Amino acid sequence: MTTRKRAGAFVQRAAARLAYRQLTHRGAKLLGALLGVMVAVVLMFTQLGFKGALYDSGVAIAQAFDGQIVLTSPGFKTMSFNPPWMSRSLLYDARTVPGVRSAAPLYASTVQVANPSDGNFLTTWLYAFAPDQPVFTLPEVNEAIPRITLPQTAIIDRRSRYELGRVADQFIRSGDLDLVLPAPAAATQFVFHIAGSFAVGPTISADGNIITSDLNFFRYLRVPLDRVSMGIVKVEVGADPEVVKAALARRLGPNARVFLKPEFIENEIGFYAFRTPIGFIFNIGLAVGIFVGIVFISQVLHGIINDNMREYAALRAIGYGQSFFVYLVAYIAVALAVATYFPSILITLVIYSVAASVTKLPLDLKTQYLAMVLAIVVAMGLTAAMFSTKKLKRADPVDLF
């Protein structure tokens, strides 16, 4: 058994040394293939990054909810659209459920804002809550509560995108800004005085966010405050959110949907992933990157095999078995894939930085992306090696000499 292990280790070491020599011997011939594999790896990173950024932007507001449970109307699908309203009386009912500490109303609607520089309309989310019942964990929002209680006063998302982002920058530079909104329920335009800023970021459907009080929400949209977009529920200290959720579901019945906060976030991500083309498109892009990587690695392997077929035949003739050639080709393939991995990370960071500055999306090179792409890269190399070793297996040394 020991002799067999030593023989196996010798074969692996010999294959590794030969793989290294054959790769370094090719020199400039490898450059084109390495660039091709690098493009494939960068493509995979960008597909994962943009998909994750779109998902993260879609749930950024939900992540900031100050509660463990979210109540919505029965017809609620996603926060990508204006949430259908539910009766505020349901929140009063929710407060009677054991384990519920508070149930606060949240109002939400997409609105149009007139760009101060050219008058063009910009789309943004308008969120509102009762000042005595905060619904966000964002410190800047909670610190601004005394200001947004003033009539026609709001705070703006300084991470807003495009023209709305420039409007937010104008407030940050001057400390003073008035936003004009078309008022469908009034004869004159509605003006919000901006009295502060916060940082959340845009979504797919809107370029930014504005937050105000519930009374200002009513003053602008004339929507009765007993029509609530969502309810944010806090549970008592020590209470089990799962148990409280079940009790709320029994108490509210078919009049509301009850989500744990992580479930609500998963519902939003699931909407983008399965009910829109976004998830499909990015998954196709990832698959294309994998295919391109396998093709380029396979081309290099076939070139190396063709150039060295006589030498391989000689090795086979003196007793090197198929396992030696499997190790050899696998080492070459994995080395090619891994060699392009680290330069691809640097290129990806540059792409992420440029794209994030333009789109204002949260593009981060997450650890899970690094691990996933590294695993895919190694798998690409092994897959290419699997196809390439078949040619060596069929080779007959007698025919080559």
Per-residue pLDDT tens digits for 103-157? 999 999 999 888 877 777 888 999 999 999 999 999 999 999 999 999 999 999 9
Domain assignment present for residue 68? The answer is no
Domain assignment present for residue 272? The answer is no
- Do 227 and 317 reside in the same domain of the chain? no
Please report which helix (H) or strand (E) contains residue 219, including its range: helix 214-221
Domain assignment present for residue 65? The answer is no
- Do 351 and 248 reside in the same domain of the chain? no
| CA dist list (Å): 72 to 47, 133, 225, 271 | 32, 17, 15, 16
- Do 193 and 247 reside in the same domain of the chain? yes
Degrees, nearest 5: CA angle 198-200-205: 125
- Do 189 and 306 reside in the same domain of the chain? no
Domain assignment present for residue 3? The answer is no
Domain assignment present for residue 97? The answer is yes
Does residue 353 register a pLDDT over 80? yes
Q: 229-267, pLDDT tens digit by residue?
A: 999 999 999 899 999 999 999 999 999 999 999 999 999
- Do 164 and 39 reside in the same domain of the chain? no
Residue 210 pLDDT grade (very low, low, confident, very high; cuts 50, 70, 90)? very high
The overall average pLDDT reported for the chain is 85
Residue 397 pLDDT grade (very low, low, confident, very high; cuts 50, 70, 90)? low
Q: 373-392, pLDDT tens digit by residue?
A: 888 888 888 887 777 776 66
pLDDT of res. 52? 87
Q: Which residues of 360-386 are buried (b: 16+ CB within 10 A; e: fewer)?
A: bbbbebeeebeeebbebbbebbbbbbe
Domain assignment present for residue 308? The answer is yes
* Rounded CA separation 394/383 (Å): 18
User: Where a domain ends, among 220, 255, 290?
Assistant: 255
User: Where a domain ends, among 221, 255, 289?
Assistant: 255
The total number of structural domains in the chain stands at 2
User: Where a domain ends, among 222, 255, 288?
Assistant: 255
- Do 293 and 208 reside in the same domain of the chain? no
pLDDT of res. 360? 81
Residue with the two structure tokens 């080559």: 400
- Do 32 and 168 reside in the same domain of the chain? no
- Do 131 and 217 reside in the same domain of the chain? yes
- Do 183 and 222 reside in the same domain of the chain? yes
Helix and strand numbers (H, E) in the chain are 15, 11
- Do 248 and 295 reside in the same domain of the chain? no
- Do 168 and 130 reside in the same domain of the chain? yes
Per the structure, the complete domain to which residue 396 belongs is given by 8-58+277-400
pLDDT of res. 325? 73
Residue 183 pLDDT grade (very low, low, confident, very high; cuts 50, 70, 90)? low
Domain assignment present for residue 217? The answer is yes
Strands 69-72 and 153-157: unpaired
| 262 within 8 A of 141, measured Cβ to Cβ | no
* Rounded CA separation 127/123 (Å): 13
Domain assignment present for residue 214? The answer is yes
- Do 396 and 333 reside in the same domain of the chain? yes
| CA dist list (Å): 107 to 60, 185, 210, 224, 401 | 16, 17, 12, 10, 81
